[in-house]
Structure 1
Amino acid sequence: MLDTIALLDEKLIPAWQQPVSVLDLLAARQLNLETALLGSSLFLSDAPFTGHKINPIQFQQLLQSAQKLWRDQDFYFQLGHRLLANGIGPLKDALYHVHSLSQWTDLIGEFALLLSPTIYCRDYTINAHERFLLFSSNIGLPLNSLQHRTLLVLISQLIKRSEKNWRVEFYLSENTPSDVDQFYVHVAGKCYFSSPFNGVRIRQKNNNDEGHHMDISTQVAINQCRDTLGEKRYLLPYVAELLWSNHQLTLNDTAEHIDTSPATLKRKLASCRVSFQALSDQMKAERAVIELLLKGTSLEQISNNLCFHDSSNFRRAFKRWTGMTPSSLKSAYRGIFEPS
């Protein structure tokens, strides 16, 4: 198991997909590509970069350099459109042709690295016809709000152009930005700012999620995505998923699950700028807030789901995590969230 877990300096991001789209966007404006590539471990002499891969820190450096060269505020919105054209490889074909909402969000979760190399998408079922994708950092750094914009454009346009007729709502933790008009132009869905988390809610108007079988070409596209990524996954989202699925896991349990020692796991998480306890608390807090706001789940039930002995202990932990009591959080966001 341990040999399938990668650290931040390991190169898993296919350079011929998202990084090339960044360069193509700059080239359309005749901007200096060599300047953009500084610190990315890529060189123009290697183009078209087939077979080359970079790590998340190098990709983040590429984005930062590209944004400085672009200068205009719409860079990340324009990049979202460019990625939709040719930047996510066979994943676009798979997402276009999958009609089941559950299958669609499952693919987003599995191939998040192809969709956004620095953002991890966690898939959460609200009910039979609603899903929620929660955005988290893939690299242990605070999420860059500008990177959300690329992902928002990409997801919203994927749904719009494939004519799935789903209702999409985006939630961002950043305050309403000065360039909010760019969201109305480029994002095909309602955007809510000052949210307690970052993610997208997708509602299927008719509950026709059952009975859809993938055709052979879609299965081919999915296999191509798996071949592109290989078997390795980054440590932080991998451990986060374990803790999200089982809130009782201790450091020792988790280390045993991935076939390593607790000390080694602690050291590797530290390299991702997070402690095991902080990550465990984050997963519990995210699930508690989502269940409270999106599902309207009772405090007693959430407390049980998160394996607390009683709701009083849960309330104290909730305030420690969020700075607010559950009731005050519900009141604060009553105008944004509509529990199903």
Structure 2
Amino acid sequence: MSRVNWLDCETRFISARAQPAYLIDLALSRGIESHHLLKGTGLFYDDLLSGDPHISANQFHRLIDNSRLLLGADDSGFLYGQQLLPGHYGAASNMLWHADTLLQALQHLQQYKVLLSPLSAPVLRMDEQSVYVYWLDSFNAGKNRQFLIESSMVAVTALARQLGGPNLPWHYHLAHSEPAYIEQYWVHLGEHLRFQSPVSFMRIPREFVSKALPSSAVVGRIAEQEAGLQLSQLPAPDSFTDALYEYLATHISKLTGMEQVAADFGMSTATFKRRLQREGTQFQAQLDRARTIIALDLYLCRGMTNEDVAGYLQFNDRTNFRRFLKRLTGKSPNDLRQWLNG
């Protein structure tokens, strides 16, 4: 690989005046004292007003921890998500506003995820009928994972409504169980919901994201150039685990083992393991995540058979492939195919 630097959980690359500010505003609007909200984050309220402090993913997760604890409300992730996109992030937000189509806006969101969705990475896949948006933890979300999934899906839904109209037929697949506050999903996302999915993703018919939008091509291109310059000024364009996912997705059908991956990342195997540990994860967990998403993509977008999917993922034994899917999705290959097409 040509790149040797990645964002890690301690890199201060997130402007506190961007996504964190929306969460701070939400908490303050509900009477939360700022010193309680910002405890342990390394942030001070006056800093937000007098400068442009940058925080790390770990600091942002601490802010989310505090917000969830202090707000104690079922709707907080949904209300937070409503504000996130296009947002007020300068050129990156203007780029979304002036996209030629909703599909282009989603592609921008994926390409500029570090600026627009720093903790939760969207991954786009498409076939002739549908566009799929998967969601990955860019940094170990832990107990904040469900909050981030809720806010990220609401953010994209709100963006799509602003650009393409209010009645877009999104379908939502969520990895967690149906929560007690299901009415919040109905209000903010609609009724096309499926819980306990193997991974969390959104789906929409392709025709609805391909329609031309009333936009300014010149302003959009200028905004994209400026956003690209902003991205180039960051310490790195990807988190370590996002870069690892992209690598695995590209090489999964010919992967020989962790030693190969570590070497391609310019590290010894021991250093590679330590880097993953610092991010709160392990290679097997990242490999399982990539294989699961790729399996779903092969079933949904390419219509592959069980045997084809198993071969692509380098399972030469059907029993091992069945055990793999059962362990990670709770379903056998045939059951998973039926569930996805149901």
| Mapping of residues 1-340 of structure 1, within 5 Å | 1=2, 3-48=4-49, 50-84=51-85, 86=87, 88-100=89-101, 102-125=103-126, 127-142=127-142, 144-163=145-164, 166-187=168-189, 190-205=192-207, 208=210, 215-229=217-231, 230=234, 232=236, 233-247=238-252, 248-249=254-255, 250-293=257-300, 296-309=303-316, 311=318, 313-331=320-338, 333=339, 337-338=340-341
CA distance in 2, matches of 1:16, 1:161: 23
Counterpart residue identity of residue 202, structure 2 = V
Structure 1: how far apart are the matches of 2:151 and 2:327?
Answer: 32
Q: Return the offset for 1:198.
A: 0.6
Q: TM-score, normalised by structure 1?
A: 0.86
Structure 2 distance, partners of 1:93, 1:188, is 27
User: Unpaired segments of 5 or more residues in structure 1?
Assistant: none
Task: Give, in whole Å, the separation in 2 of the partners of 1:231 and 1:190.
Answer: 39
Tell me how many residue pairs correspond in the alignment.
334
Counterparts of 1:66 and 1:309 in 2: how far apart (Å)? Answer: 47
Deviations along 1:60-95, one digit per CA (max 9) or x if unpaired, are 111121233323321111112232474554433322
Cα distance per residue 1:137-179 (max 9 Å; x no partner): 2223446212221112111010011125743111111222111
Q: Hey, what's the Cα distance between the residues in 2 that align with 1:299 and 1:99?
A: 38
Unaligned ranges ≥5, structure 2: none
Give the ranges of 4+ consecutive aligned residues of structure 1 lying more than 6 Å apart after TM superposition. Answer: none
Partner secondary structure for residue 164 of structure 2: coil
- Take 2:54 and 2:87, find their aligned partners in 1: how far apart are those partners? 17
User: Quick one: distance in 2 between partners of 1:30 and 1:268?
Assistant: 40
Instruction: Quote how far apart the aligned CAs of 1:267 are.
Output: 1.2
Moved more, 286-295 or 68-77: 286-295
**Which segment drifts farther, 80-89 or 280-289?**
80-89
1:148/1:77 CA distance change after superposition, 3 Å: same
1:99 counterpart SS class: coil
Q: CA RMSD in A?
A: 3.0
Greater Cα shift, 160-169 or 69-78: 160-169
CA distance in 2, matches of 1:61, 1:206: 37
Deviations 1:158-214 (A, max 9, x none): 00111257431111112221111111222257322222211111222268579x998
Q: Quick one: which amino acid aligns to residue 338 of structure 1?
A: N
8 Å Cα contact 1:20/1:87 also seen in 2: no
Aligned 8 A contact 2:130 2:203 in 1: yes
Is the 2:123–2:133 Cα contact (8 Å) retained in structure 1?
Answer: yes
**What do residues 192-249 of structure 1 show as CA deviations (whole Å, max 9, x unaligned)?**
2222211111222268579x99822112323343344425121111111100121033
Identity across matched positions, percent: 23
Contact 2:102 2:209 in 1 (8 A): no
In structure 2, relative to structure 1, the CA distance for the partners of 1:207 and 1:218 (3 Å cut) is closer
Q: How far apart, CA to CA, are the structure 2 residues paired with 1:302 and 1:237? A: 23
SS in 1 for 2:83: helix
TM-score (norm 2): 0.85
